[in-house]
Structure 1
Amino acid sequence: MINSHSKQYTIGISCIGSGVGESVINSCRLSNLPLKTIGLGTNPFAYGAYACDAMDYTPTIYAADFVDELIKKCIEYKIDFLIPGRDDEAHIYSQNKTKFEKWGIEILAASEDMIALCRDKERMSLELNPIADVFVKCFQKETVLDAIAKEEVSFPLIAKPRSGFASKGVEIIQSEADFHLITENHILQELAVPVEGDPNYNFFISEISKNRNPQVAEISIQLVIGKNGELLGKMATYNKLSNGIPIEILPYEDPLIWETVDRLLPEFLNRGLVGPLNIQGRMTKRGLKVFEMNPRFTGITGLRALMGFNEVEACIKSWLNIDPNVYLEINNNRFGIRQTSDKILSFDRNDLAQSLAQQVSPRIFPLTKTVLVTGASGYLGRSLVEELHSNQDVRVIAMGRNAEKLEKLFRKSEIEFYDYSSLFNGEFSVGKIDIVIHSAFARPHCTDTEIAESLDFTSKLFTCFARHQIPYIINLSSQSVYGQTLTPLWKESDPLAPTMPYSQAKYASELMLKSISELYPHITTTSLRLAAISGGKKGLVPVDFLSKLVLKAVKGENLVIVGGKQELEIMDVRDAVRYIVRFTEQINPSSEAVYNLGANGIYNIMDIAKMVKRVVEDMSIQTDVELELKPSEIDLKFGMDSSRIERKLGISPDYNLESTVRSLVSFFNSNQQK
């Protein structure tokens, strides 16, 4: 297998001006594989062309030299994989497969036989119904009256071009008086009427009575077959169309569909199906009725990729032998709408959309939220993952830098985990995430270089999440962004004045996050400004003031305090975890962009030292801890007003500072004894 990091892959998309071509480009942009895209076509105003890395021209697909010129472009740009953007073009690819193979060019096209079958609706019905009797019956103009007399079919009928697409040239035939509308190019089909319980049933009947073809209640089934005939994924959606273009897309699930697919798939494979196959139909009172199949990507391929089903990426991996190749799955938590671009939303954005989805496909409910935690092997991140995992209604994904450490921490608890490289080698499907908690960042004691690297990584991460339109992104920031210009308690509306590299980097991460919500208003972004975190939990590295002080006392060392009047706000890690997890449960589109998250308690460091001495002596760890005060004019004060988040969540901290100190003493004592 080729290592996915070893090279950049050049992907050619021809007929880039088509809706399918644009959709393929969007899917490539959503992929985290190292791809270079080349758009090929005839139109300088092609919308998709300007989303490619490069664009060039070819003759029209009907020109005699189209294939030869296309091959020249593939050689010039060193294209590894060529994807068609139109039905006719896919047919041309298939007819000229040996020419492409001669030059070592991989193309995405099913066999001539499979494509020809799909292009002929009458043949499709006659040859496939004996295998699975789900294809609408087809009739000739001359014989349909006999079929009506025998009650094999009834008016109204629908007349479609034999090899048409996008519902062009369709006529509604209400009676024999409408036969003049039928041309030699038409095939008559029985009308697939949605089941009466369908939310669009009445509209459908009304439109048919007006001789209009209502493109509602359509079931779109998408299959993806690898180069060697393996099934890479399958999914279905319930669609409303406008002029043949899907504009409202709901996830759909019904076992009857997959039973039908299982019967048909061996026949498709025998006929040479590879790559995508789109099957269109409706659920009727007689079950699934299929009226069209297209062995190609579709105009909503890019939208499916936003729902976690990136079929273009899957095919690229299969044809170019890139490992790993993950089985495709749709994220049922999201629905799609289209106008001139794709947009994916969480169901909590629209109650009516969710209600319709529940009517159409109740099997996908209740929904399970997927929460991704970065920095999952760190002190706070580890506790967040474990707490989230305790909720059966949440699917938690742990992500960190070190794969071996993640495996050691989470394998036994069966928590799903990935290292960060999975975001950039195609191993992980970003589209399945519903909420991100970004806790991966260098600590204040780290070097300037480490802090800069964290900021760079955060930028890449936020760009990835924005590209995939993840509905909710939570960034864990710091109280240090307020600086020391204002006297505490600080409110979220107060001006910021970060001074140190760490606090400046944290503020920069907040600004990057804010820009996402400005570019994509349907993405909710929130920064939680945390007070200093401490407490005796697994993963603790004693670098914060309180844990270092307690550790010294436990070891019997003197506690040296410089200054003594500095004021700190220290939050117990258990409270921080409880607040953040509760916030993921209550986050919604109206959530604020910033919340302070503190302990509701401020102490000067001399009082903290005295508390540590008393607790350590009380717990009989050391009986003689000495305090030493060194005068200093240092005057630092920290403290935040956390009333905004407390009002939202309806909770307050459970642990005071003494409880935190006691947990630290127990933690260090336990680790010393091991």
Structure 2
Amino acid sequence: MNILVTGGAGFIGSAVIRYLIEQTEHSVVNVDALTYAGNLESLTAVENSDRYTFEQADIGDAGTIAAIFDRHQPDAVMHLAAESHVDRSIDGPAAFIQTNIVGTYTLLEAARHYWKSLQASAPEKAAAFRFHHISTDEVYGDLEGPEDLFTEETPYAPSSPYSASKASSDHLVRAWHRTYGLPVLVTNCSNNYGPYHFPEKLIPLMILNALAGKPLPVYGNGQQVRDWLYVEDHARALVKVVTEGVVGETYNIGGHNEKANLEVVETLCDLLQELVPAEHSYRDLITFVQDRPGHDLRYAIDASKIERELGWSPEETFETGLRKTVQWYLENCSWWQRVQDGSYQGERLGSL
């Protein structure tokens, strides 16, 4: 297959592309606008493959996106391009509305017109075409009881501008299936972590702050619970869905690793103490800060459907995945240092 991946220079998108190029025979067209979170250095391992092509484009640019469909004739779309940081959505929601809602609409329309053209010119290719929309468990809001889990039928109740914009995009994708027949698939995942994670997110932020001896800021009392999914497990699941999933279906993807934020930070501190011993305890750097507005208390995914129907399950436990993640950051200082000092953007933009 020739798969068009939007947001392929981002954290999850780059993991998907590395998996597709290194572990399958599929070809990839990476469409990314290269906003602050897009980093082509996350793709250096595959950028020279003859099955990989990069197109710098904004998914909201209808003319450019239509031309990319026409030029590359993809067999499937994996739509990961999104603004995804909750704190940024609270400070400035406009970009989230524009990218996550308007951008998804523009991409859907380009895909629909391309798919309709295939029905006339290449009906077999049209029948096999898939539009896979990758979303988040945050669209469901938060859970009441300690035993509750998000299923594919859980009603939407988003809490932040970010999750509301993703919920909107989910609804658009399903409407394009119901109204126009576009062959779509939707996945909703839990919190991802792993290599190449942008340092503003919880786990890489804590690793890098700890190494620098800086405070480790934990919202509220740190008891917000998340289900943690190793990004390479997620990439495997996404490829499984786009190649084997049933059109019109939704699949929840989780890691079976529910942890309170404070427990995550404490575990990281203990791992760092083992791998990079410090005179002080890294735990002494933990600092409780004012909670985020509208902060959901607990997320947890029921991933039984994708396990039952598609045979996917996570390979990493939280302990094995977190150790791999910490070791990656320790061994790849140049990657995150270039993100921190901004040079990954400056040289990239200067070369365009």
TM-score by length of 1: 0.41
- 2:236 is aligned, of 556, 578, 583, to 578
Matches within 5 A, 1:184-203: none
1:645 alignment partner, one of 284, 303, 306: 306
* Aligned counterpart for 2:213 among listed residues 556, 568, 577: 556
Q: Is the 8 A contact 2:143 2:299 kept in 1?
A: no
Give the corresponding residue for 1:453. 98
Which residue of structure 2 aligns with residue 605 of structure 1?
261
Written as runs of structure 1 = structure 2, the 5 A alignment for 1:124-163 is: none
- 1:461-472 matches, within 5 Å, as 461-469=107-115, 471-472=129-130
Q: Does 1:412 align with 2:51?
A: no
**Which deviates the most, 552-561 or 440-449?**
552-561
Alignment pair present for 1:614 and 2:258: no
Q: Counterpart of 1:424?
A: 63
Aligned residue-pair number: 301
> Unpaired runs of 5+ in structure 1?
1-368
Larger radius of gyration: 1
Cα pair 1:370 1:396 within 8 Å, conserved: yes
Aligned mates of 1:546, 1:612 — CA distance in 2: 8
- The 3-state SS of whatever aligns with 2:95 is helix
Matches of 2:282 and 2:39 in 1, distance apart? 37
**1:482 and 2:119 are equivalent in the alignment:** no
Q: Which position in structure 2 is the counterpart of 1:370?
A: 2
Letter in 1 for 2:234: A
Contact 1:558 1:626 (C-alpha < 8 Å) held by counterparts: no
The amino acid of 2:63's aligned partner reads F
Tell me by how many angstroms 1:411 deviates.
4.6
- Where relative contact order (Cα < 8 A, 6+ residues apart) is larger, the structure is 2
Q: Do 2:4 and 2:76's aligned partners in 1 also have CA atoms closer than 8 Å?
A: yes
Q: Measure the CA separation in 2 of the matches of 1:467 and 1:519.
A: 14
Contact kept in structure 2, 1:565 and 1:606, CA below 8 Å: yes
User: How many Å separate the matches in 2 of 1:478 and 1:485?
Assistant: 15
Query: SS of the residue aligned with 1:390?
Result: helix
Residue range with higher mean Cα deviation, 647-656 or 372-381: 647-656
Deviation at 1:391, TM superposition (A): 4.9
Contact 2:194 2:321 in 1 (8 A): yes
Q: Is the 8 A contact 1:388 1:396 kept in 2?
A: yes
Matches within 5 A, 1:217-236: none
The amino acid that maps onto 1:524 is P
- Whether the 8 Å CA contact 1:406–1:418 is kept in 2: the answer is no
Taking structure 2 as the reference length, what is the TM-score of the superposition?
Answer: 0.76
- What's the counterpart of residue 380 of structure 1? 12
Is residue 558–residue 625 contact of structure 1 (8 Å, CA) maintained in 2?
Answer: no
Q: Distance in 1 between matches of 2:24 and 2:289?
A: 53
Q: Which residue of 2 aligns with 1:401?
A: 33
Quick check: 1:437–1:474 contact (8 Å CA) kept in 2?
yes
Contact 1:553–1:612 (Cα < 8 Å) also in 2: no
Give the deviation of 1:427 after TM superposition. Answer: 4.2
For 1:492, the equivalent position in structure 2 comes to 152
| Amino acid aligned to 1:467 | H
Aligned AA (2:57):
Y
User: Residues of 2 paired with 1:405 and 1:451: CA distance?
Assistant: 19
Identity of aligned residues (%): 21
- Asked if the contact 1:374/1:438 (under 8 Å) is kept, the reply is yes
Please report how far the alpha carbon of residue 587 of structure 1 lies from its aligned counterpart in structure 2 after TM superposition: 2.3
Pair 635,433 (structure 1): closer, same or farther in 2 beyond 3 Å: closer
Deviations 1:106-147 (A, max 9, x none): xxxxxxxxxxxxxxxxxxxxxxxxxxxxxxxxxxxxxxxxxx
**Distance in 1 between residues matched to 2:265 and 2:27, nearest whole Å:** 41
Relative distance call for 1:621 and 1:666 in structure 2 (3 A) is: farther
**Amino acid corresponding to residue 424 of structure 1 in structure 2:** G
| 1-structure distance, mates of 2:167, 2:236 | 24
Q: CA deviation at 1:560?
A: 4.5
1:660, distance to aligned residue in structure 2 (A): 2.9
**Partner SS, residue 170 of structure 2:** helix
Aligned 1:183-332 pairs, distance under 5 A: none
Counterpart AA for 1:661 = L
* 1:144-202 superposed Cα distances (whole Å, 9 cap, x missing partner): xxxxxxxxxxxxxxxxxxxxxxxxxxxxxxxxxxxxxxxxxxxxxxxxxxxxxxxxxxx
**Structure with greater proportional helix content:** 2
Inter-partner Cα distance in structure 1 for 2:268 and 2:217: 12
Question: Contact 1:598 / 1:640 at 8 angstroms: preserved in 2?
Answer: yes
Q: Does residue 524 of the first structure (1) align with residue 189 of the second (2)?
A: no
Q: Secondary structure at the match of 2:54?
A: strand
Cα pair distance change 1:621/1:574, threshold 3 Å: farther
* Structure 1 pair 604–371 and aligned structure 2 pair: CA distance change class (3 A): same
Deviation at 1:669, TM superposition (A): 2.0
Q: Is 2:69 the counterpart of 1:437? A: no
Runs of 4+ in 1 over 6 A off after TM superposition: 631-635
Aligned partners of 1:551 and 1:665 also within 8 Å: no
The CA RMSD measured in Å over matched residues stands at 2.9
* Alignment correspondent of 1:543: 200
**Contact 1:536–1:660, Cα closer than 8 Å, also in 2:** no
Distance 2:84 2:136 in 1: 10
Cα displacement (A) at 1:581: 1.4
2:349 aligns with none
Q: Is the 8 A contact 1:370 1:397 kept in 2?
A: yes
Q: Which residue number in structure 2 is paired with residue 507 of structure 1?
A: 167
Decide whether the 8 Å contact of 1:481 with 1:507 is kept in 2: yes
